[in-house]
Amino acid sequence: MGQPFSKYEVGDFYDEMFQAPGEARPHYRMLLERFNEMVDGEIERKQDLATGTFLNQGITFTVYSDNQGTERIMPFDLLPRIIPHQEWEHIERGLVQRIQALNLFLHDIYHDQRIIKEGIIPEDVIKSGKHFRPEFMGFDVPKDIYIHICGSDLIRDREGNYLVLEDNGRCPSGVSYVLENRQVMKRVFPKLFRRHKVRPVDHYGQELVNLLRYVAPPRCEDADAPTAVLLTPGIFNSAYFEHSFLARSMGIEIVVGQDLVVKDDVVYMKTTKGLKRVDVIYRRIDDDFLDPTVFRKDSVLGVPGIVNAYRKGNVNLANAIGTGIADDKVTYYFVPKMIKFYLGEEPILPNVETYLTMFEEDRKYVLDHIPELVIKSANESGGYGMLIGPHATKEEHEKFRQAIIKDPRNYIGQPVISLSRCPSYCDGQIEGRHIDLRPYILSGEKITIIPGGLTRVAMRKGSLVVNSSQGGGSKDTWVIDDE
Amino acid sequence: MLSRVADSLYWLARYIERAENNARILDVNLQVTLDDESAGDSDGKLEWEPILASLEDQKLFHSLYAVTNAETVCEFVTFAKENPNSIRSCVAGARENARTVREYISSEMWERINSLYLWLNSATARQLFASSAIDFFRHVVDYSHQFHGTTNATLTHGEGWNFLQIGKYLERADSTSRILDLKYHILLPSGEKVGGNVDTVQWQAVLKSCSAFEAYRKLHIGPVAPWSVAEFIILHDSFPRSIRFCAEGLDASLHRISGSPRTHFATDAERLSGKLCSDLNYATIADIFKMGLHQYLDAIQLRLIEISSALLKEYCEWLDPSDESEQTQSQSQS
């Protein structure tokens, strides 16, 4: 194709690669040269090689609405997203600050609730939070860490400023794609890698297992080598590939609920040599499904008695029970205030401007401007329960209007942000597509963030929805040492 | 290791082996019918019914197909989704089990199984099946060999590897006995004599189904005699598909798992497999024919089932088969 970028349109967005038509940003220039050198058909061949690799390795996910339950590969985009060193440092500082505040908030909310008493957050926000667990008031978690693994979604506005769109403090998924995308890119573009100094990501498994061991309960049997396992809902879960991938890279067992049993408030796994005690569980099951004797009675994914074992301090769970109150989209509104309250600092990464429909003034504004806003329900994820005003029909506007009036606590409104665009190879040519960034933040002995994270791409032209369940794809994310 | 993982590895190996053996049986029967001069005269029922008898799938087959011929039987044993023992179903079963133990097996093992699965469901496989079924079946057998080779070369020979060996040898002993028994179900066309041309071709086919023809030839020159074929396939001590060899492999892996010496038993499964080994070690082909080959093979199959149940009871007793509903419940993650 000779000059693959010759027809590229920058458009009225922040473009990650081009500062003006035909003029690449400095950190993208080598990439541009490489693509301009490509011979006819080379991009297609590389794309096929990448897709084939994913398929053969079984790197797939399942879509729920699809009755077939078919496995699909997440569309992979060949063009990497490049983040210069300085930009990454800024992001990293902002994320560290944010996770510190969130963990302090969770400790506070399950103990003294100073933040309510001092009038920073209305009591009602917490009390009515779907994922607040009053049963755990006064409960101490090992090392006071609640969110061990956090995935915060970042977007860039028209000026290129990084904003936090939401925090995922329960079971954020997608990190396996960060690692697999990197493997595939190394295979497909070995020379490019040598030329850029791309910071590695493959120590994630090691960092994660270190973290799990660090938060083992104090009364664990063998403090030097606590037994950690990964609890998965099973092979029919859409993220099963990731669960097994992570267990493999950590060298720990992956278990389903029926592999575990609780006796005298101690959790054991059933092995061929009898019962073996478990100290830490990286659970990829939501609170609701964890223990049928405590939460949802119909859950067959969980382990009866596990919550009592946790309460007694015989086992630890990552993430802790009750972290969902921190990634409630209404709580999100208050995170910048939390940062000031707990840390006495200004937020480094701002939130997206947000209206809380529980506040009368905001509600009025939102109801008057639905067609221009993004409306989100407070506790849905994966791109469900969301309305993008300008892209929706009148009926959909009306549906959300009624829903807001009925339950103002559970909705927020945000202006439509024109997410930044990055060149993507789709339908045989290179075009701009909207992207976001989900870095993975690990809170253990120290806070660790693997450089970059998952860049999700809205593969459909013009779409702003990047979720994999909604047809989004991903691309490799390079944090480069360009100092 | 987790009981569930042990269980999955065991079944994974069994399914792969079953797929391979189905491919072998069909391959050889196709070749035999090509050799058979009388085949053109009949509608194929005579040649293909015994396959179904030996796989014990007759009932299901007749509920799905009106006629018995090469086409319907090959379709049923290869692709039919309704047939839980078809090659495709077996490979799907192997892959499902492999997925649940993906973190345990090596990536290379997974890729072998996954690419066999993807290939079987592709148009390429269908085309090959239509244009050259014999090549198609060889391809399946090759994949299975690659899987075993990859397993030996990439997986630690520890507990899990032993569960894989047990699955493989149990299934192989079972199918070897079925292949041999196949001859029992094949009727000689009228006018043909025992020991005649057709009879010899059929016994040769039995050997070929087990990849045993060349090995057999190295021991026996001259006409293929029924008793020597049966002796070779049941009692040979080092041919890797003989029943005795499989029983030895099975017994050795059982003892490696428990750590008890081969001369003793620590579990019921070991007691049963030890007894089977010893019977096979001391049996003569004359004893077997005296009892009746078919009866003898039937008894072997029952003993293999007993060993399998004893094994699962010992190591995977936690598993409750009624818990399967869990697999359909799903939840979303952000």
Is residue B320 over pLDDT 60? Answer: no
**Which of A356 and B209 is assigned the larger pLDDT?**
A356
Q: How many Å lie between the alpha carbon of A402 and the closest alpha carbon of chain B?
A: 26
pLDDT score at B334:
44
Residue of A168, A271, A286 with shortest CB distance to B331: A286
pLDDT of the residue at B256: 96
| Residue A266 Cα to chain centre, angstroms | 31
Q: Has residue B48 got a pLDDT over 90? A: no
CB B247 within 8 A of CB B255: no
Chain B residues in contact with A64 (beta carbon < 8 A):
330, 332
- The answer, yes or no, to whether residue B78 has pLDDT greater than 90, is yes
Q: Burial-class residue A291 by CB neighbours within 10 Å (0-12, 13-18, 19+).
A: buried
Q: Does A174 touch chain B (CB under 8 A)?
A: no
Q: Which of A236-250, B295-309, B312-326 has the lowest mean pLDDT?
A: B312-326
Average pLDDT over residues A450-456: 95
Chain A residue closest in CA terms to B110: A57
What mean pLDDT is reported for chain A? 91
A258: contact with B, CB 8 A cutoff: yes
Residue A235: which of B99, B159, B318 has the nearest Cβ? B99
Q: Which residues of B touch A (CB under 8 A)?
A: 1-6, 96, 99-100, 102-103, 107, 110-111, 114-115, 118, 159, 257, 315-316, 318-320, 323, 325-334
Percentage above 90 pLDDT, chain A: 70
pLDDT at B167 over 50: yes
Q: What is the pLDDT of residue A383?
A: 63
User: CA-nearest residue of chain B to A249?
Assistant: B103
- Under an 8 A CB cutoff, do A58 and B110 touch? yes
- A431 pLDDT above the threshold of 50: yes
Q: What is the pLDDT of residue B42?
A: 59
In this structure, the number of other CB atoms found within 10 A of the CB of residue A311 comes to: 15
The pTM of the full predicted model, rounded to 2 decimals, is 0.86
State the CB neighbour count (10 A cutoff) for residue A66: 11
Q: Which long-range contacts (CB under 8 A, 24 or more apart) does A28-36 make?
A: A28/A82, A30/A192, A30/A195, A30/A196, A31/A79, A31/A80, A31/A82, A31/A192, A31/A196, A32/A5, A34/A189, A34/A191, A34/A192, A35/A4, A35/A5, A35/A79, A35/A430, A36/A2, A36/A3, A36/A4, A36/A5
pLDDT grade for B211, boundaries at 50, 70 and 90: confident
Strand ranges of the sheet holding A260-263, from the earlier edge strand across to the other edge: A260-263, A266-271, A274-277
Distance CA B133, CA B126 (A): 9
Which tens digit of pLDDT belongs to each residue from B89-147? 999 999 999 998 988 999 999 999 999 999 999 999 999 999 999 899 999 999 999 99
Give percent of chain B above pLDDT 90.
63
Residue A337 has a CB neighbour count (10 Å cut-off) of 16
**Interface contact A257-B318, CB threshold 8 A:** no
Q: Using the beta-carbon criterion (under 8 Å), do B326 and A261 form an inter-chain contact?
A: no
CB within 8 Å of B185: residues ≥ 6 apart: B49, B50, B53, B54
Segment A237-253 mean pLDDT: 89
Q: What is the predicted ipTM?
A: 0.78
CA–chain centroid gap for B103, Å, is 26
Which of the residues A149, A252, A272, A380 would you substitute to probe the B interface, choosing the one with the greatest number of B C-beta atoms within 10 Å? Answer: A272
What would the two tokens of residue A404 be? 């807001």
Distance (Å, whole) CA A43 – CA A188: 10
A-chain residue closest to B98, CA distance: A235
Residue of A nearest to B311 (CA): A272
Q: What is the DSSP string of B223-239?
A: S--HHHHHHHHHH-SS-
- The minimal CB distance from A269 to the residues B2, B159, B332 is found for B2
Q: Give the residue-averaged pLDDT of B313-330.
A: 55
CB pair distance less than 8 Å for B99 and A289: no
- Out of B96, B315, B332, the one facing A272 most closely (by C-beta) is B315
Predicted local distance difference test score (pLDDT) of residue B327 = 32
pLDDT digits (tens, 9 = 90+) for A301-335: 899 999 999 999 999 999 999 999 998 999 999 99
pLDDT for the residue numbered A378: 84
Q: pLDDT value at position B36?
A: 63
- Whether residue B325 and residue A261 make contact (CB cut-off 8 A), yes or no, is no
Mean pLDDT of A96-123: 97
When the pLDDT of each residue in chain B is averaged and rounded to a whole number, the result is 88
CA distance A76 to A59: 11
Question: Which pLDDT band holds residue B331 (cuts at 50, 70, 90)?
Answer: very low
Strand partners, A164: A154, A351
3-state DSSP call for residue A212? helix
Nearest to A55 among B5, B118, B330 (CB): B118
Question: Do the bridges between strand A429-438 and strand A421-426 make them parallel or antiparallel, or are there none, so unpaired?
Answer: antiparallel
pLDDT average, residue stretch A366-378: 93
Fold of A355-415: Dna Ligase; domain 1 (3.30.1490)
Residue type, A23: E
pLDDT, tens digit, 9 for 90 and up, residues B251-262? 999 999 999 999
- Which has more confidence, A218 or A483? A218
Exposed / middle / buried, residue A61 (Cβ in 10 Å: 0-12, 13-18, 19+): buried
Is the torsion defined by CA of A411, A412, A418, A420 positive or negative? negative
Q: Where in chain A is the domain with CATH 3.30.1490.270?
A: 355-415
Of B102, B325, B331, nearest to A233 by CB-CB distance is B331
B222: CB partners within 8 A, 6+ apart: none
Query: Given the structure tokens 């999100």, which residue do they identify?
Result: A332
Q: Tell me the pLDDT tens digit for each residue of A254-273.
A: 999 999 999 999 999 999 98
Q: How far apart are CA A452 and CA A444, in angstroms?
A: 19
Check CB contact under 8 Å for B2 and A235.
no
User: Rounded to an integer, what distance in angstroms lies between the CA atom of residue A241 and that of residue A62?
Assistant: 10
Number of H helices, E strands in chain A: 14, 24
| Contacts A–B by Cβ distance under 8 A | 111
